């Protein structure tokens, strides 16, 4: 039987701040980064199993540059806990594996279950899940949809959730979806999963660029588009008008009847059924959010994303109530620290759309718990993606959600950004209808393995890109540091 | 004019796990630790001011061992932002100083405003406050109570709070307290601030030890006592009975009439007016907390502290409602990640007692904001202390609260643990009535400067204690690490 013998970590940063990609009202200079871990195994002495000789687990968490090294330090301390563990004993109780990572009484203090230590837990837990799926020759999503309801619930992080969802209720919910599971799996493989494009409307983009990208996205089959707002009402209205003028043009009629019929409330639908969403990235106080978004009513967005501080459950509930009249919903989640905050957002009726993040939540275990909660409360899960690696991750989560968990999938739509996929060995892709293709490669695991050349080139600060191709940037980034 | 020229950081860990001090249901092996920073300044070339030649700022955040190094990595990256800054320009707008530390768009991603990066911000911001107070030859509390209401509000972190408290309301509240400020300052200097003892009831202690420590604490003048609970009802009841039997003995009649009359609701008062509190350190789910605490009704505690996950605002509200009938209140705060969570705890009516932590909140600025919020909602602030350095910090906060902010102070009581004070240059102390003495030394700043010998001895892993006196422990701590 193979054990985990050690690990390596890699601080990988891409210079995305140079292009203005990923720019919004809060995040003005993102270098999309991966705090990346590889778990190594070898068969132990008494094993004859040649197949597991080279089994590895790949995991990462996403950051936007500085601080990636801090997360890596946390990844090391969590990975230490796995060294020496027989992999099959981890796989046999993935819930216990998650407990092992999150219950260290000393490390828990610097969370608990939030921020750096939780982001790091996401990377490490996902690496174990990746290894588990590879060991079974299945993509991660398939590993999980093939589990029994009891098995899925056993590896979901349900601690602190029982006032909203008990394990028994969760099992019951999953059982109700069992008989139609195969049919949904078939459909997902045929059709893919509906995606939306964030690439059209970053804050740093000119209206010309927004116009060009929106048309391109429509031609690629997308019918949901997101625009960053929150710095200036006039500028927001101007860029929104560019998008609306195009997506409301009858030549771009949305042919996806389900979307047209169900995801949009009457007056915000627009004539073609194409959908606009807006995203403020937390810039407002609560009442300020309501007042500002009311000024954007004519943009007819489906929802306002991250109107205020992500921890503010009651604030989101207040904003949702304040915008109900004008038919604009509330979405949040990419900065939602853990399942307990999601539980409250659902209990308080604070959100119309739940946007989980595959690594801000502590890996697959906690994502399962949150998808189960969302199903209980009837709120669609539309994962946060983009950055680097997030699209690769979340397609697996949405496959699981669609096939095994969600009561309906009419409103669910997965964020898509066409950046940096070339660095992954099993890059995710969208089809000609603007829908995510299901990952099918039996060796893909959780799809997060990067090419060795990419790791080497973009390792910070010693990779060839940062050391040789970009000396100016690196010296600028380092000049502030005067550690004595 | 002097500028910040650089800084040093120190990973300082005390081997408190050896004694069972600090043990509770969640934290079973604490090594009280300080992620410690010293900001250095020199006068710049055109300055003649010899007085500021040696001005330094000392700050730390508290952890319980592992992960202290992760926090230090974050402290370094935040301190970098201060290097080169003229100190007087920092002091002239401490609100802007705090913004500088918390608004880095890349570092914000790995919070935001929570966990490692927020703990680190607490250490760095507090170091600047320490330096500011020293530069004015005043203890930190005195520096702040001498400010105008407008000045206090200007350096309070009020972003995201305006739906509960606007800056204008805060100024107004402080103005209402102005005319009686001097009188309260005089009283605080004469009487000190009421403290409570947590040292009597750690989870690892035998009933004999609990008995001995309770008597000692009564003899020292304490009349509030805290007991750790949550592992076993029988054990909790047994240890609670030991304490109640002693504190209810007429020979220990509490002579502080204000406490007896006002802090305790009728049936829970006990015959002598001495007060028991219980603390579960987050072990329960919401309904489980209610059911468990009901079984402890006969202990007659003032409140249950940390009944569940600290992020669970709605859960705390539910628990408070569930325990109202039996007269047991709810307290939380030592793990409350930031002011936005405190705002919601207050808005939801979830707590009877607010327990701020001087470094889990991001320094003095955010503590001021939370004390202002608490005053608005009429909830007493009883700071979390103990560990290492927390008592030194919080006496300043409670001095500010008592003199400048809180509408009443009848229920306020400051946690006291008599550990590790000997490592500080200006150690805090309690008087013979079990009350904190106000820090008076004009050079004490925020009272957090440690003796150089303590830093050197307990630096981890290379200080003399860890390297030479405790080789067994260190090798045990490191054996898990197999980084490749």
Q: In whole angstroms, how far apart are CA A329 and each of A323, A349, B351?
A: 7, 11, 30
Flag if A27 and B483 touch (Cβ within 8 Å): no
How much of chain B is in helix, strand and coil states, percent to nearest 5? 45, 15, 40
Tell me what the pLDDT averaged over chain B comes to.
Answer: 91
Q: Decide if pLDDT at A232 tops 90.
A: yes
Pairing of strands A193-201, A435-436: antiparallel
Neighboring chain B residues of A481 at a CB cutoff of 8 Å:
76, 80, 83
A93 in helix, strand or coil? coil
Neighboring chain B residues of A85 at a CB cutoff of 8 Å:
none
In this predicted complex, what is the ipTM? 0.94
CB B367 within 8 Å of CB B374: no
Q: Decide if pLDDT at A264 tops 60.
A: no
The region of weakest confidence among A134-143, B257-266, B318-327, B358-367 is B257-266
- Best of B311, B343, B377, B484 to substitute, by most chain A Cβ atoms within 10 angstroms, is B311
CB B328 within 8 Å of CB B301: yes
Peptide bond into A112 cis (omega under 30): yes
Which residues have a Cβ under 8 Å from the Cβ of B214 and sit 6 or more positions away?
Answer: B200, B225, B242, B243, B246, B247
B275 in helix, strand or coil? strand
- pLDDT score for B249: 94
- The DSSP 8-state label assigned to residue A438 in this structure reads P
Query: From the centroid of its chain, how far is CA A344?
Result: 20
Report CA torsion sign: B231, B234, B239, B244. Answer: positive
- pLDDT score for A479: 47
Tokens of A468: 């040789």
Tokens of A191: 């059709």
Residue with tokens 């999963």: A193
Cα-atom radius of gyration of chain B, to the nearest Å? 22
Residue with tokens 């969302």: A374
| pLDDT bracket for residue B147 (50, 70, 90) | very high
CB A10 within 8 Å of CB A459: yes
| pLDDT bracket for residue A23 (50, 70, 90) | low
Among A residues 342-381, those touching chain B with beta carbons less than 8 Å apart: 343-344, 347-348
Closest CA to B77 of B104, B114, B57, B97: B104
Which residues have a Cβ under 8 Å from the Cβ of A418 and sit 6 or more positions away?
Answer: A199
Which residues have a Cβ under 8 Å from the Cβ of B455 and sit 6 or more positions away?
Answer: B10, B12, B36, B463
CA distance B80 to chain A (A): 5
Domains of chain B as residue ranges with CATH: 2-165+452-478 (3.30.390.10), 182-436 (3.20.20.120)
Active site amino acids of A: 228, 384
Measured CA to CA, the distance from residue B264 to residue A62 in angstroms comes to 49
CB A7 within 8 Å of CB A79: yes
CB A361 within 8 Å of CB A339: yes
Which residues have a Cβ under 8 Å from the Cβ of A187 and sit 6 or more positions away?
Answer: none
Closest CA to B224 of B308, B305, B294: B305
- pLDDT score for B37: 98
Flag if B314 and A313 touch (Cβ within 8 Å): yes
- pLDDT score for A349: 97
- Best of A26, A30, A110 to substitute, by most chain B Cβ atoms within 10 angstroms, is A110
CA distance B341 to chain A (A): 7
Flag if B484 and A7 touch (Cβ within 8 Å): yes
Q: What is the pLDDT of residues B212-235, one digit of tens each?
A: 999 999 999 999 999 999 999 999
Q: Decide if pLDDT at B28 tops 70.
A: no
- pLDDT score for A482: 38
Q: Decide if pLDDT at B195 tops 70.
A: yes
Measured CA to CA, the distance from residue B163 to residue A287 in angstroms comes to 6
Q: Decide if pLDDT at A269 tops 70.
A: no
- pLDDT score for B201: 77
Pairing of strands B2-13, B33-43: antiparallel
Query: From the centroid of its chain, how far is CA A52?
Result: 30
Q: What is the pLDDT of residues A295-339, one digit of tens each?
A: 999 999 999 999 999 999 999 999 999 999 999 999 999 999 999
CA dihedral B244, B246, B248, B253 (to 10 degrees): -140
In total, chain A counts a number of residues equal to 484
- pLDDT score for B111: 97
- Best of B40, B67, B289, B341 to substitute, by most chain A Cβ atoms within 10 angstroms, is B67
B270 in helix, strand or coil? coil
Highest mean pLDDT among A412-421, B25-34, B117-126, B251-260: B117-126
The side-by-side arrangement of strands in the sheet containing A2-13 is: A2-13, A33-43, A56-63
Measured CA to CA, the distance from residue B152 to residue B70 in angstroms comes to 32
- pLDDT score for B482: 38
Flag if B343 and A312 touch (Cβ within 8 Å): yes
Measured CA to CA, the distance from residue B39 to residue B311 in angstroms comes to 32
Phi, psi (degrees; rounded to nearest 5) at A354: -110, 120
Choose among A159, A162, A481: nearest Cβ to B80.
A481
Measured CA to CA, the distance from residue A371 to residue A362 in angstroms comes to 13
Q: Decide if pLDDT at B98 tops 60.
A: yes
Q: Decide if pLDDT at B270 tops 60.
A: yes
The region of weakest confidence among A229-243, B9-23, B401-415 is B9-23
- pLDDT score for B473: 53
CA distance A133 to chain B (A): 24
- pLDDT score for B21: 64
- pLDDT score for B480: 45
Flag if A482 and B30 touch (Cβ within 8 Å): no
- pLDDT score for A265: 56
What is the pLDDT averaged over residues B185-203?
90
- The DSSP 8-state label assigned to residue B161 in this structure reads -
Whether residue B60 lies within 8 A of chain A, CB to CB, comes out as no
Tell me what the pLDDT averaged over chain A comes to.
Answer: 91
Q: Decide if pLDDT at B479 tops 50.
A: no
The region of weakest confidence among A43-57, A374-388, B137-151, B311-325 is A43-57
- pLDDT score for A481: 44
Q: Strands (DSSP E) along A387-481, which ranges?
A: 414-416, 435-436
Measured CA to CA, the distance from residue B7 to residue B58 in angstroms comes to 10
What is the pLDDT averaged over residues B292-296?
98
- pLDDT score for A206: 86
What is the pLDDT averaged over residues B235-264?
81
Phi, psi (degrees; rounded to nearest 5) at B42: -140, 155
Measured CA to CA, the distance from residue B59 to residue B67 in angstroms comes to 17
pLDDT > 70 fraction of chain B, expressed in percent and rounded: 90
Highest mean pLDDT among A261-275, A378-392, B33-47, B270-284: A378-392
Neighbours of B106 (CB within 10 A): 22
Neighboring chain B residues of A110 at a CB cutoff of 8 Å:
63, 67, 70-71, 115-116, 119
Q: Decide if pLDDT at B107 tops 60.
A: yes
Neighbours of B77 (CB within 10 A): 21
- pLDDT score for B20: 62
Measured CA to CA, the distance from residue A130 to residue A238 in angstroms comes to 44
Flag if A27 and B105 touch (Cβ within 8 Å): yes
Q: In whole angstroms, how far apart are CA A232 and each of A30, A235, A309, A371?
A: 20, 5, 19, 35
First to last CA, chain A: 48
Tokens of A423: 């660095």
CB A25 within 8 Å of CB A203: yes
Active site amino acids of B: 228, 384
Helices (H), B179-232: 181-191, 207-219
Q: In whole angstroms, how far apart are CA B7 and each of A369, B41, B84?
A: 43, 9, 11
Q: What is the pLDDT of residues B428-466, one digit of tens each?
A: 999 999 999 999 999 999 999 999 999 999 999 999 999
Flag if A106 and B288 touch (Cβ within 8 Å): no
B55 in helix, strand or coil? coil
CB B141 within 8 Å of CB B75: no
Measured CA to CA, the distance from residue A449 to residue A59 in angstroms comes to 7
CB B42 within 8 Å of CB B5: yes
Measured CA to CA, the distance from residue B154 to residue A143 in angstroms comes to 55
Tokens of A162: 């029982």
Whether residue B406 lies within 8 A of chain A, CB to CB, comes out as no
- pLDDT score for B266: 53
Phi, psi (degrees; rounded to nearest 5) at B202: -65, 155
Residue with tokens 């501080």: A309
Q: In whole angstroms, how far apart are CA A325 and each of A322, A328, A329, A349?
A: 7, 8, 10, 16
Name residue A38's beta-bridge partners.
A8, A58
| pLDDT bracket for residue B410 (50, 70, 90) | confident
Measured CA to CA, the distance from residue B124 to residue B128 in angstroms comes to 7
Closest CA to A106 of B23, B345, B161, B89: B23
Residue with tokens 């919020």: B373
Whether residue B311 lies within 8 A of chain A, CB to CB, comes out as yes
């Amino acid at each position: 039987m193979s054990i985990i013998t050690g690990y390596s970590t890699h601080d990988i940063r891409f210079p995305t701040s140079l292009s203005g990609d990923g720019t919004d009202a809060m995040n003005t200079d993102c270098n999309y980064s991966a705090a990346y871990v590889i778990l190594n195994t070898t068969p132990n002495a008494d094993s004859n199993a040649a197949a597991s000789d080279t089994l590895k687990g790949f995991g990462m968490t996403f950051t936007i540059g500085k601080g990636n090294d801090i997360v890596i330090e946390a990844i090391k301390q969590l990975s230490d806990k796995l060294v020496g563990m027989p992999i099959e004993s981890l796989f046999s109780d993935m819930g216990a594996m998650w407990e092992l990572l999150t219950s260290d009484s000393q490390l828990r203090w610097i969370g608990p279950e939030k921020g750096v230590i939780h982001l790091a837990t996401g990377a490490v837990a996902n690496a174990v899940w990746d290894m588990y799926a590879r060991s079974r020759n299945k993509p991660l999503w398939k590993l999980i949809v093939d589990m029994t309801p009891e098995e899925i619930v056993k590896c979901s992080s349900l601690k602190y959730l029982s006032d909203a969802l008990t394990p028994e209720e969760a099992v019951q919910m999953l059982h109700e979806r069992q008989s139609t599971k195969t049919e949904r799996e078939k459909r997902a493989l045929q059709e893919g999963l509906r995606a939306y494009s964030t690439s059209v409307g970053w804050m740093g983009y000119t209206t010309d660029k927004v116009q060009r990208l929106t048309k391109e996205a429509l031609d690629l089959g997308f019918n949901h588009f997101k625009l960053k707002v929150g710095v200036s009402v006039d500028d927001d209205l101007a860029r929104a008008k560019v998008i609306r003028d195009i997506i409301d043009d009858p030549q771009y009629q949305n042919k996806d009847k389900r979307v047209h019929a169900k995801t949009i409330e009457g007056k915000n639908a627009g004539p073609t059924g194409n959908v606009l969403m807006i995203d403020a990235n937390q810039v407002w106080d609560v009442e300020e959010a309501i007042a500002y978004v009311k000024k954007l009513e004519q943009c007819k967005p489906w929802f306002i994303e991250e109107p205020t501080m992500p921890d503010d459950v009651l604030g989101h509930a207040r904003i949702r109530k304040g915008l109900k009249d004008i038919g604009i919903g509330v979405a949040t989640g990419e900065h939602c620290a853990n399942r307990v905050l999601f539980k409250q957002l659902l209990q308080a009726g604070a959100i119309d759309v739940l946007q989980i993040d595959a690594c801000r939540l502590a890996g697959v275990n906690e994502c399962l718990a949150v998808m189960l909660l969302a199903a209980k409360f009837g709120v669609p899960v539309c994962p946060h993606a983009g950055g680097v690696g997030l699209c690769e991750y979340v397609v697996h989560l949405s496959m699981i959600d669609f096939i095994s968990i969600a009561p309906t999938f009419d409103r669910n739509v997965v964020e898509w950004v066409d950046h940096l996929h070339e660095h992954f060995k099993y890059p995710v892709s969208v089809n000609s209808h603007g829908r995510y293709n299901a990952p099918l490669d039996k060796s893909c695991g959780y799809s997060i393995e990067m090419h060795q050349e990419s790791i080497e080139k973009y390792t910070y600060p010693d990779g060839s890109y940062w050391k040789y191709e970009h000396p100016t940037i690196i010296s600028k980034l380092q000049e502030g540091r005067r550690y004595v």
